[in-house]
C-alpha cells in the first residue's frame, strides 16, 4: 500500500478524515451542480444534497482539519518543553520556492472552498425557500397543506412569503424551527394533524400587507352562491349577497374591514384554538375604550391577541371546504354532469364515507357511484357510462384533495372563519352575548356584513336585471 506523503493534512487520523470529507464533499457539490446545470435531472433530492447536506459535510471536514492541526501544534509544543527546546514560531520566507508554492496552494484552496461554499449557500437558500422543498421534503406531513396551496388564490406565492416574511432574523428563526420539525419527522413523532392556528406566524400587518392594503376602500361586493338540491333533478338555486367589505374612505372606516381600519385597535381573550372568545377590548380612533365580555369563564391557558387579518381570513391559502361546497362547484363548472339523477345526493353520501387510504377512496367512490346507477338507473348506466365514470373520478379527486387519512385530516379538521358556514366564524364575537358594563352588545345583525338580495331562489330577479 503506498504511503501517504508526510503533510500536516494527513499526519493524524483527525486531519486525514477532515481532508477526505472536505475534498470529497467539495467534489460532489461541484459534480451535482454541473449535473443540475446541464439538465440531467435529480430534482429536489439532488438540490437538497448538493446545497444543504454536502456543504455541511464540507464545513465539518474543515473543522476536523482545524482541530487536527491544533492538536498537532499542541503536541509539538509539549515535546519541545519536555526536551527543553524553546518554541520556534514558523517563518514565512517568500524567498523560498517551497514556501511560495505552499502559500499559493493554500490561497487557491481557500478561494476554491469559499467559492464552493458561497455558491452552494446562495443556491441552498433558494432551494430551502422554495415551495417544492416546503411541500415535498416532509411529504406526508405537508401533503394536506401543499394540496390546498396548489388550488388556492395564492398558488403562485411561495410558502416563505407568508410563513417567514422579510428579514434575515425571520429566515434564521424559521430555519431553526424547521430543523426541529425535520427531527420530529425523522423520529416519526410529529403531530397529526398539524395543529392550528400557527402561533409563531408573523403579524399580518408585516406579511399580508406586503400585497393587501386594508386601508384601501373596497365598498360593496356582489357575491353569488349556486347550490344544487338533493332531488332527482339536482335543482339549482342561487343566493345573492351584497357583501359590505368596506375599508377606509377618507377618515371614515366602514364595512367588514372596519375592524382593521386606521386608528381602530381590537384585542380579544381566547382559548389557544381561538374558537371561543371571552373578552373583546375595542379602542376607537378617538382613543375611547370599551370592553365586551360574555359569561363564560376563560381557561387558564387563554391568551390575549391583537386582532388582524388572520382572525377572519384564517385559511387564506390552505382552504378545505365542505363536501357540499366542493360538489356544488363541480356541478356548477360542469365537471360532474347535472343531468345524472340524484348525483348531488349520492355525491354527498360517498364523499362522507371513510377510507383508510386515498387509493381505497378513489376505487371505492368510483365503485359506489357506478353501483348506484347500475342498480337504480340501468338505462343511465348503459347509455351514460362515460358521465357516470367521470363523476366517480371527479368525486375521488375531491375526496383526496380534502381528506388525508395518514395525517388524520378530514372534511371538518380545518374550519374556515371567513363567514359562518363552516364554523362560528363571525359569531365568535358577534353573538349578542359579549356585553359591556353599560349593556352595549356586539351586534349579531346580518346587515352589518351583508345584505341578502336573494336566498336559494331558482332564478333570482336581480341577476336577470343585471344582465340587461
- Of the listed ranges 104-113, 123-132, 231-240, 423-432, the one predicted with least confidence: 123-132
Which residue, 246, 278, 250, is CA-closest to 260? 246
Of the segments 92-101, 102-111, 116-125, 369-378, which one has the largest average pLDDT value?
369-378
Are the C-beta atoms of residues 218 and 245 closer than 8 Å to each other? yes
Q: Measured at the alpha carbon of residue 86, what is the angle toward residues 10 and 84, in degrees to the nearest 5?
A: 95
Q: Span 384-411, mean pLDDT?
A: 96
Evaluate the omega torsion of the peptide bond into residue 197 and state whether it is cis, within 30 degrees of 0.
Answer: yes
Reported pTM: 0.79
* 10: number of Cβ within 10 Å: 15
The label of the residue with cell 491544533 reads 70
Is 407's pLDDT higher than 70?
A: yes
User: pLDDT of 157-211, one tens digit each?
Assistant: 888 888 876 667 777 777 777 777 778 877 888 889 988 888 877 778 778 888 8
For 419-467, the pLDDT digits (tens) are: 888 889 999 999 999 999 999 999 999 888 999 999 999 999 988 888 8
Candidates 391, 381, 387; CA nearest to 348 is 391
**Looking at the predicted structure, is the pLDDT value of residue 3 above 60?**
no
The beta-carbon contacts of 123-126 under 8 Å, at least 24 apart in sequence, are 123/33, 123/47, 123/50, 123/51, 124/51, 124/52, 124/55, 125/171
Cα–Cα distance measured from residue 415 to residue 322, given in angstroms and rounded to the nearest whole number: 9
Amino acid at each position: 500500500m503506498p504511503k501517504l506523503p508526510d503533510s500536516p493534512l494527513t499526519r493524524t487520523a483527525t486531519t486525514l478524515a477532515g481532508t477526505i470529507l472536505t475534498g470529497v464533499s467539495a467534489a460532489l457539490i461541484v459534480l451535482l451542480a454541473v449535473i443540475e446545470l446541464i439538465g440531467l435531472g435529480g430534482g429536489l433530492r439532488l438540490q437538497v444534497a448538493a446545497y444543504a447536506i454536502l456543504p455541511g459535510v464540507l464545513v465539518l471536514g474543515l473543522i476536523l482539519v482545524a482541530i487536527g492541526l491544533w492538536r498537532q501544534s499542541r503536541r509539538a509544543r509539549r515535546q519541545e518543553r519536555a526536551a527543553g527546546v524553546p518554541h520556534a514560531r514558523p517563518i514565512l520566507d517568500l524567498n523560498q520556492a517551497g514556501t511560495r508554492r505552499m502559500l499559493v496552494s493554500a490561497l487557491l484552496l481557500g478561494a476554491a472552498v469559499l467559492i464552493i461554499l458561497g455558491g452552494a449557500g446562495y443556491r441552498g437558500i433558494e432551494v430551502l425557500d422554495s415551495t417544492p422543498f416546503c411541500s415535498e421534503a416532509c411529504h406526508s406531513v405537508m401533503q394536506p397543506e401543499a394540496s390546498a396551496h396548489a388550488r388556492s388564490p395564492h398558488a403562485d406565492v411561495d410558502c416563505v412569503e407568508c410563513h417567514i416574511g422579510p428579514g434575515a432574523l425571520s429566515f434564521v428563526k424559521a430555519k431553526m424551527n424547521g430543523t426541529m420539525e425535520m427531527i420530529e419527522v425523522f423520529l416519526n413523532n410529529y403531530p397529526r394533524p398539524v395543529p392550528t392556528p400557527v402561533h409563531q406566524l408573523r403579524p399580518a400587518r408585516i406579511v399580508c400587507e406586503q400585497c393587501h392594503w386594508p386601508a384601501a376602500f373596497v365598498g360593496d361586493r356582489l357575491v353569488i352562491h349556486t347550490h344544487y338540491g338533493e332531488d332527482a333533478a339536482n335543482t339549482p338555486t342561487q343566493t345573492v349577497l351584497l357583501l359590505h367589505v368596506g375599508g377606509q374612505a377618507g377618515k371614515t372606516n366602514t364595512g367588514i374591514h372596519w375592524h382593521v381600519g386606521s386608528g381602530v385597535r381590537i384585542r380579544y381573550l381566547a382559548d389557544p384554538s381561538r374558537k371561543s372568545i371571552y373578552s373583546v377590548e375595542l379602542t376607537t380612533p378617538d382613543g375611547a375604550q370599551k370592553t365586551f365580555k360574555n359569561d363564560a369563564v376563560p381557561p387558564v391557558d387563554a391568551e390575549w391577541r391583537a386582532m388582524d387579518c388572520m382572525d377572519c381570513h384564517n385559511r387564506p391559502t390552505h382552504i378545505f371546504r365542505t363536501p357540499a361546497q366542493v360538489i356544488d362547484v363541480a356541478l356548477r363548472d360542469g365537471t360532474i354532469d347535472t343531468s345524472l339523477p340524484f348525483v348531488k345526493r349520492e355525491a354527498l353520501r360517498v364523499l362522507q364515507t371513510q377510507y383508510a387510504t386515498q387509493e381505497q377512496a378513489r376505487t371505492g367512490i368510483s365503485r359506489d357511484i357506478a353501483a348506484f346507477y347500475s342498480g337504480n338507473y340501468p338505462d343511465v348506466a348503459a347509455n351514460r357510462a362515460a358521465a357516470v365514470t367521470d363523476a366517480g373520478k371527479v368525486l375521488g379527486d375531491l375526496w383526496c384533495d380534502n381528506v388525508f387519512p395518514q395525517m388524520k385530516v378530514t372534511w371538518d379538521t380545518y374550519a374556515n372563519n371567513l363567514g359562518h358556514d363552516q364554523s362560528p366564524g363571525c359569531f365568535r364575537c358577534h353573538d349578542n352575548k359579549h356585553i359591556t358594563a353599560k349593556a352595549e352588545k356586539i351586534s349579531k345583525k346580518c346587515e352589518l356584513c351583508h345584505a341578502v338580495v336573494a336566498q336559494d331562489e331558482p332564478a333570482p330577479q336581480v341577476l336577470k336585471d343585471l344582465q340587461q
